[in-house]
A and B are shown apart, each in its own frame.
Chain A
Amino acid sequence: MDSTVGGVEWTSDDTSASEVSRSDKAREFYEEKIYKPAIVAWSDMRTRIGILLMSIYGLMAVVAIAGLWRAPTSSQAPERYMQPFQNWDYPLGSTASGVDIMALIIHSTDEMLLMILAGGVWATGLAVAVGTLAGYKGGTIDNVLMSFSDLVMAIPGLPLVIILAFTFNPENPIFVGIIININYWAGLGRSLRSQVLTIREESYVEASRTMGVSTPRILRKDVIPNLMPYITVNFVFAARYVVFASVGLFFLGVLPYTQANWGVTLQRAYSGGALFAPEAAHWLIAPMLAIGVLSLALILLGQGLDRVFNPRVRTRLAGESESTAADEEEDTFGGKVM
């Protein structure tokens, strides 16, 4: 293999460069993709709380799957309408039929998480694909994709979901998640497209085009990374939407009944008169809290995650140095230093 290109000796003084060992690569990957984002995420109080709360849910899901807590069935508790925090075997008390509320909460978690993940990925993934392609390519592709997504947006969401739910009777939580967000991607795709229109005109994108870099690669390396803050925030919104929509739909009975489900629990609590009877209030409050705290966790996470994708924040927190004082002047005036 020749080492001269363009008449220049390409061997540099730094001979250690050519040995890029496996461990070096692994270490680099770890640092760039895991360690530094983690520091940035952790540094922000909101994200920190968000992460902690989410890990509680994650823990509950693991417990549910591993079967470390009893599954909810009737008459399992020593008494009915047991109040919370009295019996530590049944920390959240029990329902009218003596079902352990804690079990109800825990065993809903894994399905719920799967649902919101599926819904979020569906909505965001499709939106990114459609939006970036339409925005970057323009022309006919843009017209076709946008016309299609306008059509999809025009279909009213909730009635569509209800019809689909009645038609398909989905049991699989992933399927449920996708159905709930079936046309969420269209609006998101449009706003991503307008952002791509701006990014496309940036000098570094033109430079990549001039180098002959293929369109998929430009989208992957130049366009999407700059959209990541927007994408993560919207992923979180899509996930939240699934939370509330699914609870609502289960409450209404549109989605097929499963024993362990917050929405269903709410519905039973409500129809069991928990709204009026103080001794049954905990039955209603427990799922409400579960839902509310999950939503809060998602919001907090979303707010902090966009900082992870900001290279300035990342390098500042990782303690890397800057070249000159130009950066200080730039910080103070927020404008370009000529």
Chain B
Amino acid sequence: MATDQQSHFTTDDPIVEVRNLKVTYDDGDTFVLDDVSMDIERREILGVVGESGSGKSMFASAMLDAIPDPGLLSGKVLYHGGDGETIDVLELNQEELNQFRWEEISMVFQGAMSSFNPTMKVGNHFRETLKAHDKNVADGMAFARELLEDLYLDPERVLDSYSHELSGGMQQRALIALSIVLEPEVLVMDEPTAALDLLMQRSILMLLKDLQEKYDLTMVFITHDLPLVASLASRMGVMYAFQMIEIGPRDEVIGDAGHPYTRALLNATPNLDAPLEEMKPIEGQSPAPINVPDGCSYHPRCPLADDQCVREDPQFYTVSEGHGAACHHWEEAQDTIRLNFESASETGGDSDVAADGGTLPGDAVADRDGGHDATDFVGGSDGGDSQ
């Protein structure tokens, strides 16, 4: 029973173990994070996906014990550092916590642009961070320059500028460098590309992949934009109504999701290839913390819901090795709910043909070279936010 329950979320070499994490704001009546358990594997990129108000940002904060008052956090967060030591994050006192944050686990928040102090040069942000953690400033700055170069920024120029003198994309990259400068093991990012445009988003994702390889980082990438993280993540978790409802390797969560919500989410996301008719919004709305339904929290919106779903809150069912979904009817979901982008690789089928004789989706795509190589395409000059 334990192995069955846990096989979807335990991994071989977890760097962070999260167990039964709960956050409540009014002494246990309503939860904004409801009993989340999972492992984060060393050196993986984990994507956590969910709508606004699903608890995903809360999850990130909880891992760092950064839940603002009057929230109450309970559960366990175990960190297995590189030196074999295990730290119980929630038991640390304030001083130890300050050291822990940024040196072991680092976080890039939403709305990163405003994370910089507008009256301080970027370079001073780095120096202050190094000083605050009692690190050698000279060594730290040398490493910072290296990082900035990895991110295709001109180090001298960036360090000497104020944040408003840099474009959005450059600010974001500078912030990423700042969060890695103390050589943490884990980097948690909450919507890091939210305000950026398409090409810049794409470049930053590729840079993150490079950084992860070069510095052996573990990354947790939190977003509401599923396709965005799909290219980056090796493992994905889906959150709904403050719970983790599906976890698994990326290929499976996207190609073969067990939970009806995940499948519906995939279908509701606009993309280039799927036929228009098959992109459908999800009926209804996500619940507020006080309105979370009994039983399975998704049942009011689920086409497969039955009495069992109303009565019983599902625990995780194993879909396959390392892939679990919290749904009583996951098999039925896989069989009945069709994913719209699957038809993109089918020929003919029921895809919509446009009135003026456009070609079918899926063909006529430019050459795609194999291999991955983020060449010198990310320049240092202003990507420009001027309109």
Contacts and interface: CB of A to CB of B under 8 A. Distances in A.
**So, do A and B actually touch in the complex, CB under 8 Å?**
yes
Interface of A: 322-326, 328-329, 332-333, 335-338
Contacts of B58: 329, 332
A324 B110 contact: no
A319 B365 CA distance: 56
Interface stretch (B89-97, B281-289, B333-341): B281-289
Interface in B49-92: 52-53, 57-58, 61, 67-68, 71
A232 B286 CA distance: 40
A308 to B, nearest CB: 25
A322 B71 CA distance: 19
A176 to B, nearest CB: 45
A325 B191 contact: no
B32 interface: yes
A328 B32 contact: yes
Interface in B108-130: 109-111, 114
A324 B285 contact: yes
Given A324-B286, A325-B288, A328-B289, A336 B32 contact: no
A336 B111 contact: yes
A319 to B, nearest CB: 14
A329 B53 CA distance: 7
Nearest to A336: B111
A332 B68 contact: yes
B152 interface: no
B288 A324 contact: yes
B25 interface: yes
Interface in B234-292: 285-289
B52 A326 contact: yes
| Main SS at interface, chain A | loop
B22 interface: no
Interface string B181-196: 0000000000100100
3 tightest Cβ-Cβ pairs between the two chains A and B = A335-B111, A325-B53, A337-B52
12 contacts: A323-B288, A324-B286, A325-B32, A325-B288, A329-B32, A332-B68, A332-B71, A333-B57, A333-B111, A336-B110, A338-B110, A338-B194
A324 B224 CA distance: 16
Which of B71, B286, B287, B288 lies at the interface centre, i.e. has the most chain A CB atoms within 10 A of its CB? B288
A332 B52 contact: no
Contact of B109 (A324, A325, A335): A335
A297 B107 CA distance: 46
B25 A338 contact: no
Contacts of B287: 325
Interface in B209-234: 224
B61 A335 contact: no
Contacts of A324: 53, 285-286, 288
Nearest to B56: A329
A202 B180 CA distance: 36
Contact of B110 (A323, A326, A333): A333
Contact of B114 (A325, A335, A337): A335
A326 B285 CA distance: 12
Q: Chain A CB within 10 Å — which of B25, B52, B71 has the most? A: B52
Given A325-B32, A333-B111, A337-B110, 12 more contacts: A325-B53, A325-B289, A326-B52, A328-B32, A329-B52, A332-B58, A332-B67, A332-B68, A336-B111, A337-B52, A337-B57, A338-B191
